[in-house]
Each structure stands twice: as C-alpha cells, then as structure tokens.
Amino acid sequence: MVWGLLIIAAAVLLLAWLLTDISFDPLAVLLGLLLGGGTALLIGGAISAFGGRNHFTSGGNDTRRPTGQAD
C-alpha cells in the first residue's frame, strides 16, 4: 500500500510539474518521497511487531481447547 501511494504521489507531482509553471527539483522530491515511504514502512513494521503480542493467531500458538469437546 505504501509503494502504491508513493507511485501515485510521484505521478501527480510529475503531472503538476509538466502541466503548470511549478518548478522544483524532481530528484529532491523523489528522495523525499522515498524517505517518507521508508519511514512509514518502518513505523508500520514496528507497530505490527510490538503492538500485537496479546492475541493468538491461527498458526498453532493457541493450544487451549474449549471445554466440553473431545479429541
């Protein structure tokens, strides 16, 4: 999702640059977009890694069985 948003933002900025009299350095804008995207990915990964430790997944971590059910 982050990479898709970066591509859309770069395309919009490129169109704005071509169709209007806005002048900016495309390399600096691309660098800023990549730094922002990398930061967003790091923050999202940290939230995913450290934020969800109190719940079980369906991958076999939960060995508890509901009461009243036999094997």
DSSP annotation of 68 reads T
Query: To 10 degrees, the CA torsion angle through 20, 21, 25, 31?
Result: -30
Q: What is the pTM of this model?
A: 0.55
pLDDT band at 63 (very low <50, low <70, confident <90, very high): low
Tens of pLDDT, residues 5-37: 888 888 888 888 889 988 888 788 889 988 988
User: For residue 43, which phi and psi values (nearest 5 degrees)?
Assistant: -65, -45
**Comparing 11-15, 33-37, 53-57, 64-68, which segment has the lowest mean pLDDT?**
53-57
Q: What share of the chain is helix, strand, coil (3-state, %, to 5)?
A: 60, 0, 40
Q: Residue ranges per domain, the chain?
A: 2-48
